[in-house]
Structure 1
Amino acid sequence: MLTESTITTMLPVTDSERAGHFYADSLGLKQTGKGEDGTLYFAAAGGGIGLRPMPAGAQSENTALSFEVGDLSSEISALESHGVRFQDFEMEGLKTVNHIAEMGNERAAWFNDSEGNVLCLHQVLS
């Protein structure tokens, strides 16, 4: 059944070596393999991430994946100490304060990977 399947999110990257360094060094993820086509695989709880070589422009302008975290502020600080730069927004329906948007019962913050993919950290509030 698909509801019990492990998911690997495939992200397009133009430079797999640069992207691999970002996911390992900046995000702290462990590389688990490399496909024959050059796709780099990284472990993530409940699944994995594949960084697949693609032509420039294949990246989405929307959130490609989101990591659920227990303490959003601490995760932001930890990633910033590794060079990750978070985005700030001020538009109708979405405003960030210290990189964090409050949205109902969750908080979220966005950043780009080395290839332009939009990634998110989110925390569900009790």
Structure 2
Amino acid sequence: MLSDLEIYAVVPASDLGRAREFYQDKLGLEPIEERREGLIYQGAGGTKFLLYETQFAGTAQNTAMNWATKDLDAEMSELRGRGVVFEDYDFPGFKTENGVLADDDGRAAWFKDSEGNILALSEGM
């Protein structure tokens, strides 16, 4: 049933115009479609996400969306060059170094968008 349906992420923005600029200028993404409810972006393999306006943006304290990459260092370098700042975390069993968590499953890094949403990149996970 649900396993046969397309999945897409939904990401909130308190200011859709500001968020659109962040996703364009910092992440290099352009929407493929503008709808009444927000902006549709498309990634590899037909994956998509909706960026929509709501007063509740940035309130979740968890990862909202992740991009899988084969070269985390290159992606981070490109994004840092565009002004993206990666988060550092230090929790029991979970510590990043220079923005990167490395464990037996792979490597990952987190950053926040203009709306306070936590986004991630992962390699080998």
TM-score by length of 1: 0.89
The Cα offsets for residues 52-94 of structure 1, whole Å up to 9 and x where unpaired, read as 1101456311001111001111111100111110001122111
Residue in 1 aligned with 2:85?
85
Residue in 1 aligned with 2:41?
42
What aligned pairs does 1:19-98 form with structure 2 within 5 A after superposition?
Answer: 19-37=19-37, 39-46=38-45, 47-56=47-56, 59-98=59-98
Could you tell me which runs of 5 or more consecutive residues in structure 1 were left unpaired when the two chains were aligned. none
- Aligned equivalents of 2:31, 2:119: Cα separation in 1: 18
- Aligned equivalents of 2:77, 2:48: Cα separation in 1: 23
Check whether the contact 2:64–2:118 (CA below 8 A) recurs between aligned residues.
Answer: yes
- Aligned equivalents of 1:119, 1:66: Cα separation in 2: 6
Query: Structure 1: which 4+ aligned runs deviate by more than 6 Å?
Result: none
Which letter maps to 1:42? Y
- Aligned equivalents of 2:90, 2:119: Cα separation in 1: 18
Instruction: Provide closer, same or farther for how the CA distance between residues 107 and 60 of structure 1 changes in structure 2, counting only shifts above 3 A.
Output: same
Check whether the contact 2:106–2:122 (CA below 8 A) recurs between aligned residues.
Answer: yes
What aligned pairs does 1:96-107 form with structure 2 within 5 A after superposition?
Answer: 96-107=96-107
Instruction: Provide closer, same or farther for how the CA distance between residues 57 and 36 of structure 1 changes in structure 2, counting only shifts above 3 A.
Output: closer
- Aligned equivalents of 2:58, 2:112: Cα separation in 1: 14
Identity, in percent, stands at 36
Which letter maps to 1:8? Y
RMSD: 1.6
Could you tell me which runs of 5 or more consecutive residues in structure 2 were left unpaired when the two chains were aligned. none
Check whether the contact 1:63–1:120 (CA below 8 A) recurs between aligned residues.
Answer: yes
What is the deviation of 1:6? 3.0
Check whether the contact 2:58–2:116 (CA below 8 A) recurs between aligned residues.
Answer: no
What is the deviation of 1:107? 0.4
Which letter maps to 1:41? I
